[in-house]
Amino acid sequence: MRCCCLLVLSLLACSCRALNYTGSAFTYHPLNGTNNTAVVRYKVAFQECNNVTLVNCQGELCTVNSVSVNFVDENSGEWCQYEVIVHVNNSEAPFYLALEGINWIDNINNITDVHASTHLELRTRSDTGRPNSSPRTTMLPIYRVPSDCYRVIRLPMYDTDGDRVMCFENYKFPKVLHHKDDGHLVYHGVFKDDAEGTYAVELIMKDFPHDDLGLTDANGVQTFHSYTYPLSEVPVQFVLKVDPPVGSCRQGDIVPRFELPTPEDEAHLYAFVNHTLNIDIRARAVRSSIKQVLFSGPAGIEKKDLGGGDFVLSWTPTVEDSGLRHAICFVVEAILDPDRQIHSEMRCVIVAVDHLYFALDARVLVRSHSSVQYVIEQLGLKGLKELLIKQGLPNDIQVRLGEIDNEYYGHKPAR
């Protein structure tokens, strides 16, 4: 960890511009409920490993300290992603952070300089009684799509404050993509020779409260905030590569197809501090060779290739992850020939982390001649336990039957 910090400082001292940027995704939340210190977690990727850039404060309204840098994943020769965690103290609210002095990779859509600015709002909200947190997402640094295939890229956007999250185009948005406010990006797959190429995709996520509210700073001064204006603005950037056509876009032919037990897109999983969550991934393709799984998510995820298109992503949350929800996105890459990579659709899951186990209050409608208690104990609990373990709970969880409401199930007690 210390070596990574020294690496960041040495890069900042360098007068040259950092090159070969392939994207980033920012989030922030208050430190221990304070409203003047933010924990900023951002993933940043370059073409090579050991190349990380630290954010700068804008307007001298904040200071950056407590830097840690951790490896996430890489696709050798194409991109290498790190997660950077910094603590930012501010003297006034709101304030801005920015990545500066870096360039996109070469041969991209007429964009050189990176525009990645984060707007932070840490004042205490009148609706929740807590300091504001940003919307959250993640994205692979480089995503490939054949020029003749329809593809939807679904960014997993969510907000811990319950705000409405909307996504906006930022700078020179690629003409080959259709963008929707909900974070869905659509490549229509209409084959045109001029669609092939490499594109910088720059987006801004914003969180809007559902109603007007008040924002109170550390001095007790409250300011009115309209629901029509966003509270935060965080950048999401990546590279889209539109490759030559493949001739067959049917999943499972050339383009890899996900199969069970791979989680569904936008599935919600559960993890606990110091307990390992395993995400099983299975992909198949008839006319191409499955090579690897690529992902973006919190640092510390390990991936294992089981062979035959089966993979496992394993993650053990730490105390710092408690109470947070993390997005994990992944694709499977296949090889059509030595110089041709094919990406599957991208799937994303959202993992909620906590210290404590929880009680599940469920009501089950049973249609059986057997007693309700017998059906639930012999059939329902076993299936429920298997489902909860699949969703990320530990294997040793105890699933017990509570008191049965006989009247609810239509079995009135004898009088």
Instruction: Kindly provide the residue ranges of all beta strands, DSSP E only, lying in 366-408, ordered along the sequence.
Output: none
Q: Which two tokens stand for residue 195?
A: 């669609």
| 386 in any annotated domain | yes
- Residue 287 near residue 248 (C-beta atoms within 8 A): yes
Quote the number of domains for the chain.
Answer: 1
Supply the pLDDT for residue 371: 54
Tell me the pTM.
0.83
- Residue 148 near residue 191 (C-beta atoms within 8 A): yes
Supply the pLDDT for residue 397: 66
> What tens digit of pLDDT does each residue of 57-69 get?
887 778 898 889 9
Cα-Cα-Cα-Cα dihedral of 232, 138, 267, 135, to 10°? -10
Stretch (H or E) spanning 346: none
Give the DSSP per-residue string, 85-135.
Answer: EEEEEESSSSEEEEE-SEEEPSS-SS--B--EEEEE--SEETTTSSB---E
Residues of the chain with pLDDT under 70: 1-19, 33, 91-92, 191-193, 355-384, 387-388, 390-415
Instruction: Determine how many CB atoms are found less than 10 A away from the CB of residue 86.
Output: 20
| 415 in any annotated domain | yes
272: nearest Cα among 396, 187, 386, 160: 396
User: Domain containing 384: what range?
Assistant: 360-415
| 399 in any annotated domain | yes
Instruction: Name the phi and psi angles at 320, rounded to 5.
Output: -65, -20
Instruction: Name the phi and psi angles at 390, rounded to 5.
Output: -60, -30
Supply the pLDDT for residue 415: 40
SS3 label, residue 400: coil
Cα-Cα-Cα-Cα dihedral of 242, 245, 249, 252, to 10°? -90
Supply the pLDDT for residue 183: 82
CA pair distance 177, 199, nearest whole angstrom: 10
| 398 in any annotated domain | yes
Instruction: Determine how many CB atoms are found less than 10 A away from the CB of residue 299.
Output: 19
Q: Which two tokens stand for residue 182?
A: 């909900």
| 14 in any annotated domain | no
